[in-house]
Structure 1
Amino acid sequence: MYCIVDIETTGNGIKGNKITEISIFKYDGARIIDEFTSLVNPECEIPYFITGLTGIDNALVRNAPTIADIAPNILSFTEGTIFVAHSVNFDYNVIKNEFKELGLSFVRKKLCTVRLSRTVFPGYRSYSLGKLCSTLSIPLENRHRARGDAHATVLLFQKILNTPKIEETLKKFLNARSQEATFPPSLPKTHYENLPEKTGIYLFKNAKGEIIYAGKAKNIKKRVLGHFYDKSEKEIQMCRHTEQIDYELAGNELVAFLMESYAIKHYYPVYNRAQKKKVPAYAIFNYEDRDGILHLAFNKIKNVPRPLTTLYSITECREFLEIICSSYGLCAKYCHLQEGISYCSHFRIPQCDGICRGKEAVEDYNKKAHDAVNYITNNKDNFMIREKGRDAMEDALVIVQDGQYYGYGFVPKETEVRSLQDVLAFVIPQKETLETKRLVASYALKNQGKLIPFNSQ
């Protein structure tokens, strides 16, 4: 026995998603034998855009029963049946969460008519209920109302049951080990089956081919399956919109991290949260004023034509200049650590030799300032990290040039690496960000033995 279900909701996310209407048709595989349909008072405001879609407004449900009122009816009506719906995980999990808040358990076997349709009616461009009904000549009345959509799903399910070898298909879908009910409704199972159990990144894509999530993993296949089992609000919504999964092998976790960071910054996927904030880069630079005194200062990198070095916060810039100022006996005023003053008096920096008081010659001060500039310019790391490649025939390389992350690449194992020129043809240049800077710096600190120094000249 089957119960074909459709619900309308307030649309406020899975855990905040409240039912406004529910319709259930009890179906024995040949005919409808019973029906339960009811408006539901969600006990909260219904957003205007939901009213525009469904026609259900606050006035319509004001005197309707609450979910607590009809929960016993739903439990008894669906007991001993298989729960069937179009995109079943959405309807099932909303009901399950509503019942959980009432202290009730709701557990039923599930069938998804989206996934079943993909199997028995392959090759269609869309498997939305509206498009399937149009393609299969199924009447669909009162679209986006629970009874209309549920009844159309009954007719769709009837057509599915009339396809050849449907018993084998249903048996496979209802097998707890098949994972069919776990997969996103619009994702062909082959997309998951073709994923490797290797280290790299994976990209969830929607119907338009847009990347909606980018992730990294030591085992891509296992990590992707974890998304399908996750019942959090974000994961369920993301999986509902996933129709394709691409991947790219990295060979090792460091390159996977770097690939993921690039994908997030480049594609800005809607379901990624981390690394999406654009962190402005700042530059340390030098210039001479009208009195010939050499200044060290910082500004946003877009305003600096020739940066001496790049940092990623004002705090980092100030701390860096404090160290330089103290180490070379410079003046806090001319390192722009104190503004709008006549004489320096920085609490963390010893008093300078008097350039701000006219007690030190400009030539003497500038010599110290030039030494500091030379240190900043020349004291930059140049090294490669050689790591595990994507297969036994290659190695992965991560390049740091002049203290900045330059990019990554893959080289044949027999490649002799003595200079940057030996591997430039294999390297994919990347833009350094705060995340990649910290990733590479942290890795280099912990894996000194894998660093290969080189001369930048």
Structure 2
Amino acid sequence: MNHLENLYCVVDIETTGNRMSGNRMTEICIVRMRGDTILDKYSSLIDPEVLIPDYITTLTGIDNAMVASAPVFADVAEDILNFTKDCIFVAHNVNFDYNVLRNEFKRIDHDFKRKKLCTVRLSRELIPGINSYSLGKLCDAIDIPLINRHRAEGDTDATVILFQKLLTMDKDGAVFDKFVKGTFKEGTFPPHLERSQFDELPETAGVYIFKDKGHKIIYIGKAINIRKRVLSHFYSKTSKSYLMCQEIFYIDHIVTGNELVALLQESDLIKKHYPRFNVVQKKPKPAYQILHYKNQLGIIQFAVGLVKSYDYSVVTHYNRAHAVEQLEQLCANHNLCPRYCSFKTQEDCTSHYKLKNCKGVCKKEELVSLYNLRAQQAIESLHNQNPNYIIKQPGRTHEESCFILIKGGEYQGYGYIDRYATINSLSDCEDFIERKVANFHTNQIIRAYLKKYGEQNVIYEENAVEL
């Protein structure tokens, strides 16, 4: 059927929030059309059966008193079904309105399904070059009156005029047909983002950065294919992706050449910028170390403590139980005193439930110098458990290689170097690396990589390195 003969229903919905799921409707307006001809209009306030937040009232003007005598959704559901029957569902940012309405129908055990059409997508295709495709900015740009903004009827009336313009601009209906059939996924763009920014994204490994109108970073992600991963956010149906896409004005990216550095760079940037839509890596996690120092008796004392507690640390753990377990093993292997390894004991250190090998330094039955000699051996053994090495990775171009530097078991940073360069020791790598701070997440990233790939790309300090 010709796109000018199709039945359309242009819809705008006001809700108790701005999520795609979990919202309740407060108002709906539907304009039924055949082609560009208006046939009928339906409009009603809806009692959401929950309190309307103050910020929504400030935005829309709809408060709890206004909806107190309005019908609940179940009372108007039949009217909405009949009004939208046989119609293509049209809205500005259609996924939001459509999913809110579908969820309302699900609450009354009805499966609401209609073909969808988005005026944001159509506008990007038929009216390119607009700075912003939000309804307000778009209407200003093409001289469409928008009266009573953020009320269902006002926004619907403006969307109808926009839709009529779009219908007449697509003379053969090819664009409409493409979007109705859902064959143009790349059209699902954030309304404020210029298409050219997406077109410049590479199809390689790296980090992408979403920014809001004020260039503030709101999300940081990593990808094996930056362009493909960014696009996946744009047609995701989750509330988080929808809300985030409404705030994206700019996209930056950093090419890393490999996934491992992309993961490490992502973690570093999240810690630095604390983006609003990143959740997983924002919460700091404590790191623990096996510490050593000389106590007032001149005896080398071991303990497990937080990383920032002491300057003289040996090994870092991101799980306190693992640190305690390693210290217990150290105490047993080198016949150390449980008391001077900071384990709780009674007057007799042999009262420890597991460790029984103390040679009596705590009872002055062993010379402190002899005890400290074994303690030093224990410290050396810890260092030997954490070798220095690099992990070799592909570079950003065919002419370079990438390496991640690990010293004493601790992530130091990464760098890029000419692929034909010869490195004779890890100290030679120091001049090329970009220094980074290790944390729980970088530790987990390195551990996961080694668990997955083993030592196929690992080069230890004692070997000459040819990157």
Contact 2:388 2:460 in 1 (8 A): yes
Matches of 1:137 and 1:225 in 2, distance apart?
A: 31
- Go from structure 1 to structure 2 and tell me whether the alpha carbon gap of 1:411 and 1:438 turns closer, same or farther (over 3 Å shift): same
Contact 1:333 1:343 in 2 (8 A): no
Matches of 1:268 and 1:451 in 2, distance apart?
A: 32
Contact 2:390 2:460 in 1 (8 A): yes
Question: What is the match of residue 281 of structure 1?
Answer: 287
Question: What is the match of residue 456 of structure 2?
Answer: 449
2:439 aligned with 1:433: yes
2:273 aligned with 1:267: yes
- Go from structure 1 to structure 2 and tell me whether the alpha carbon gap of 1:222 and 1:102 turns closer, same or farther (over 3 Å shift): farther
Matches of 2:225 and 2:141 in 1, distance apart?
A: 39
Question: What is the match of residue 395 of structure 2?
Answer: 389
1:398-453 Cα deviation digits (max 9, x unpaired): 11112211112232221223222443343222111122223223433542232111
Question: What is the match of residue 315 of structure 1?
Answer: 321
Which of 237, 243, 255 is the equivalent residue of 1:237? 243
Aligned to 1:308, the other structure's residue is in SS state: strand
- Hey, which bits of structure 1, 4+ residues long, moved more than 6 A? none
Question: What is the match of residue 417 of structure 2?
Answer: 411
Alignment of 1:19-418 (within 5 A): 19-28=25-34, 30-161=36-167, 169-179=175-185, 182-338=188-344, 341-344=346-349, 345-377=351-383, 379-418=385-424
Matches of 1:245 and 1:100 in 2, distance apart?
A: 36
1:70-91 Cα deviation digits (max 9, x unpaired): 2222222223333222222211
Matches of 2:110 and 2:249 in 1, distance apart?
A: 33
The Cα of 1:9 is off from its aligned counterpart by 0.4
Contact 1:173 1:180 in 2 (8 A): no
- Go from structure 1 to structure 2 and tell me whether the alpha carbon gap of 1:203 and 1:107 turns closer, same or farther (over 3 Å shift): farther
Matches of 1:266 and 1:397 in 2, distance apart?
A: 22
The Cα of 1:259 is off from its aligned counterpart by 2.4
Aligned to 2:220, the other structure's residue is in SS state: strand
Question: What is the match of residue 420 of structure 1?
Answer: 426
Q: Percent identity?
A: 45
Contact 1:89 1:181 in 2 (8 A): no
Matches of 2:106 and 2:201 in 1, distance apart?
A: 34
Contact 1:83 1:109 in 2 (8 A): yes
The Cα of 1:168 is off from its aligned counterpart by 5.3
Root-mean-square deviation (CA, aligned residues, Å) is 2.8
The Cα of 1:122 is off from its aligned counterpart by 4.5
2:16 aligned with 1:10: yes
1:23-58 Cα deviation digits (max 9, x unpaired): 112244545331000111222222232223222223
- Go from structure 1 to structure 2 and tell me whether the alpha carbon gap of 1:312 and 1:421 turns closer, same or farther (over 3 Å shift): same
Matches of 2:119 and 2:17 in 1, distance apart?
A: 22
Contact 1:87 1:240 in 2 (8 A): no
Question: What is the match of residue 3 of structure 2?
Answer: none
Query: Which AA in structure 1 matches 2:459?
Result: I
Matches of 2:348 and 2:317 in 1, distance apart?
A: 27
Query: Which AA in structure 1 matches 2:58?
Result: G
The Cα of 1:278 is off from its aligned counterpart by 0.5
Contact 2:132 2:193 in 1 (8 A): no
The Cα of 1:293 is off from its aligned counterpart by 1.8
- Go from structure 1 to structure 2 and tell me whether the alpha carbon gap of 1:182 and 1:12 turns closer, same or farther (over 3 Å shift): closer
Aligned to 2:420, the other structure's residue is in SS state: coil
- Go from structure 1 to structure 2 and tell me whether the alpha carbon gap of 1:362 and 1:425 turns closer, same or farther (over 3 Å shift): closer
Matches of 2:438 and 2:241 in 1, distance apart?
A: 30
Matches of 2:174 and 2:356 in 1, distance apart?
A: 83
The Cα of 1:330 is off from its aligned counterpart by 1.0
Aligned to 2:341, the other structure's residue is in SS state: coil
Matches of 1:208 and 1:27 in 2, distance apart?
A: 39
The Cα of 1:192 is off from its aligned counterpart by 4.0
Aligned to 1:448, the other structure's residue is in SS state: coil
Query: Which AA in structure 1 matches 2:279?
Result: R
- Go from structure 1 to structure 2 and tell me whether the alpha carbon gap of 1:282 and 1:8 turns closer, same or farther (over 3 Å shift): same
Contact 2:33 2:40 in 1 (8 A): yes
Matches of 1:97 and 1:242 in 2, distance apart?
A: 26
Matches of 2:376 and 2:127 in 1, distance apart?
A: 74
Matches of 1:147 and 1:181 in 2, distance apart?
A: 26
1:276-310 Cα deviation digits (max 9, x unpaired): 22012233322222222221123322231232332
The Cα of 1:377 is off from its aligned counterpart by 4.1
Matches of 2:11 and 2:353 in 1, distance apart?
A: 71
Contact 1:110 1:181 in 2 (8 A): no
Matches of 1:237 and 1:131 in 2, distance apart?
A: 18
Contact 1:416 1:422 in 2 (8 A): no
The Cα of 1:379 is off from its aligned counterpart by 4.7
Query: Which AA in structure 2 matches 1:152?
Result: A
Contact 2:170 2:176 in 1 (8 A): no
Deviates more, 1:109-118 or 1:379-388: 109-118
Matches of 1:361 and 1:270 in 2, distance apart?
A: 58
